[in-house]
Amino acid sequence: MKRKYWAIAALVLAAAVVCLVLLRPWAHPASGVRVLVDGKELTSASVSPEKTEDLRVYLTLDGKELASLPFSEAHTVRVLQENGDENTLQLTGTSVRMEHANCEGQDCVKMEEVTRDNIETRVMFGMIICLPHRLSVEVR
């Protein structure tokens, strides 16, 4: 029964994200957005070739993919937007968490980390979402 309520909560949050994107004037996320992986600017969307047997971490802004990283590698990822919005993700090789965000609510920072063991049982499954910055992180 609890799982049903968590699924409903996840759907409501996903609907809120969709509404936020649709009601906002469209701006291409590539303009004015910098993604730094371990301090170096990301020049392509994928950090290493995709392996079908491993999980990946996908970063999207306004529904457009910014980056795809291997879950099993350790990285510090910073997403810097032209308007001053900033998020920092920590990938440890066994987990992913939002380490820092300069938004007011800090809900994304307070979300539980995503691990292989909890990806099916977390409230948001494999997702971490920063609604004010329109940034989502998904492990799949």
* pLDDT tens digits for range 64-94: 999 999 999 999 999 999 999 999 999 999 9
Which residues are CB-contacts of 96 (< 8 A; sequence separation ≥ 6)? 57, 71, 89, 90, 113, 114, 128, 137, 139
- Kindly report the pTM of this predicted structure: 0.77
Looking at the structure of the chain, the number of domains it has is 1
What number of other Cβ atoms are within 10 A of residue 130's Cβ? 23
For 99, the domain range is: 2-139
Q: Which helix (H) or strand (E) holds 23?
A: helix 2-23
Q: What CATH number has the domain bearing residue 64? A: 2.60.320.10
- Identity (one letter) of the amino acid at 18? V
Could you read off the pLDDT of 98-110 as tens digits, one per residue? Answer: 999 999 999 999 9
